[in-house]
Amino acid sequence: MRILLYLLVTLAMPVLGEEEIVLSDDGREVRLNADGSWEFVSEDRYATTKAGDRIRLRSDGQWEAVKDPSWQSATAISRNPATAAGLSVSDFVIESVRSTKHKNSRVRNQMVIDIPMAEREDLVRAPEASRVDVKDSKGRSYEISSVNMRESGLRIIADDAPTWWGVKYFEITLPGAALGKDKDVVLRKPMADVIRRNVAELTQ
């Protein structure tokens, strides 16, 4: 019985044939050892410029451009906003409003996402709400209630919002056709940069 239990536990554990270097949520390199232990590789950290370039912030106060292509796309879990096709998410606000009817209290939430555009010509046409996707790092997608072009850029409003704190980032997918691109454009916003705001009325 003990042998069978040992085999089941062993098979359930992740198998690491050799050490692996990964990037932590705060932008630091971490070595995952084959024996299940881990350690920081160095005190250096990673960041992303407004242009979307990946840089290394060295512990001696200096910085340098990242040359390793494997780290160029590591912004998915970075605390820095990822950019794509020259676009980025400027403001990401979770609005909450509490309404009371017949002694029952109800809270409604929505997410208001602003994507600035230098010129309106950047947008071939306003994307349909059904073609825009807002998803959190846990894989949950949110229904899009409206997509509007404003003077400052594109505004997306999504119904509901996560009520847990395990979300690391949000991923916004825009249809490439609306931007004159062959592929869809994916933008990310870290949860650390998302603003939570109680309001009297939800933004329309």
Read off the pLDDT of residues 61-108 as tens digits, 9 standing for 90 and up. 888 887 765 555 444 333 334 455 567 888 999 999 987 666 667 888
Task: Name the amino acid, one letter, at 139.
Answer: G
Lookup result for tokens 């920081």: 40
The topology under which CATH files domain 91-198 is Immunoglobulin-like (2.60.40)
The predicted pLDDT at position 72 comes to: 53
DSSP notation for 155-167: EEEEE----SS--
Q: CB–CB of 111/92 below 8 Å? A: yes
What's phi and psi for 2, nearest 5 deg? Answer: -65, -40
**pLDDT value at 112 more than 90:** yes
Tally of CA atoms within 13 A in the half-sphere of 89 that contains its CB: 27
For the chain, the domains span 2-77, 91-198
Min mean pLDDT across 6-10, 15-19, 69-73, 181-185 is at 6-10
Mean pLDDT of the chain: 77
149-198, pLDDT tens digit by residue? 887 788 999 999 987 667 888 999 998 888 777 788 888 888 888 889 89
